[in-house]
Amino acid sequence: MNTSSFPETFRLALCAFNLGMGGRSREAFLSGISQRLARAHAQGAELLVLPEYLSEAFLAWKPRGLKPTEELAFMAAEAEALLPEMAALVAEHGVSLVAGSVPWANGEGGFVNRAVAMLADGRSIAHDKLALTPFELDRESWLLTPGDKVVRFEFAGLSMMMLICLDIEMPALSSLIARDAPDLLIVPSMTSSLAGYHRVFGCAKARAVELMCSVAVCGVVGASPGTTQNDTNVSGAALYIPCEPSLGYRGVVAEIAPIDGTRGEEPLLVVDVPVAAIRALRAGGAEVWPGNWSADHVTLSSE
């Protein structure tokens, strides 16, 4: 990356997508995505982030009699058809899009949970969820396969990475990322309860401190009319940063409190990532940065 060209700030929009408002057809779904991109553009955002399992919206038009074990294949087929249309909307509106996550065929007869970033310059970047929940390993409903890598990519003068939901709770992943930490870590999520919400968002805030970077996280709310698995979703949206005096102490740029979306709410958070300020901290201006510490000299012992 040409570090001389990075921006002072980067504006992004985080949409806690309401699955009950996803539309009853492909056409209605795409119209809704277009409206959300237009809203983000109107507020000056360069990137719109949608949550994990955006694909649950597709179940609103699933075939009658579709079994839970067949839902992954259906959603994957819909994603394959819809993602090119969504990429066209990105080009139309000039706003890049992290299209939440969708099941995606892994070429070996199974499926991964894939987050896809469709960038305004025409590139497409994918991250396959690494840490799967027990629900995602259930042979009676959604049986998925974990991914095996984290992709670092550059866009608009920033370095970025994506993780999905439970990925952000894994300290081992944080240690791996710390070698080449991004400016912005993007975390689409889906949590069914306040407990899950606080695990994901609390760990996202911790990762911002550990990695000395910005962490953007948002999750789905509401429920798809066709769901058989996730009839409650509780989430919000937030941008977390290091807890440094020059950044306001708290480690929070902005945070929308969690809701369940049952009244049709769909929070949208538009926020500026303080790129230059955090790079200055990483260059030696931080009050305390765990990334400067190494455990190479530490051993574990027992008495």
Higher per-residue pLDDT: 179 or 70: 70
The pLDDT value recorded for residue 298 is 85
Note whether 57 and 82 are within 8 A (CB).
Answer: no
Note whether 43 and 13 are within 8 A (CB).
Answer: yes
Higher per-residue pLDDT: 1 or 202: 202
Angle between helices 26-42 and 71-93 (to 10 degrees): 40
Residue 4's pLDDT band (cuts 50, 70, 90): very low
The pLDDT value recorded for residue 288 is 77
Q: Exposed (0-12), middle (13-18) or buried (19+): which is 178, by Cβ within 10 Å?
A: middle
Exposure string of 72-91, with b = 16+ CB inside 10 Å and e = fewer, is bebbbebbeebbeebbebbe
Residue type, 209: V
The counts of H helices and E strands in the chain are 5, 12
Q: Report how far residue 233's alpha carbon sits from residue 262's, in angstroms, rounded to the nearest whole number.
A: 9
The pLDDT value recorded for residue 6 is 77
| Per-residue pLDDT at 174 exceeds 70 | yes
Residue 292's pLDDT band (cuts 50, 70, 90): low
The pLDDT value recorded for residue 181 is 84
| Per-residue pLDDT at 3 exceeds 50 | no
The pLDDT value recorded for residue 290 is 65
What average pLDDT is seen over the chain?
94
How far is CA 216 from its chain centroid?
7
| Per-residue pLDDT at 291 exceeds 60 | yes
216-261 pLDDT per residue, tens: 999 999 999 999 999 999 999 999 999 999 999 999 999 999 999 9
| Per-residue pLDDT at 280 exceeds 50 | yes
The pLDDT value recorded for residue 293 is 66
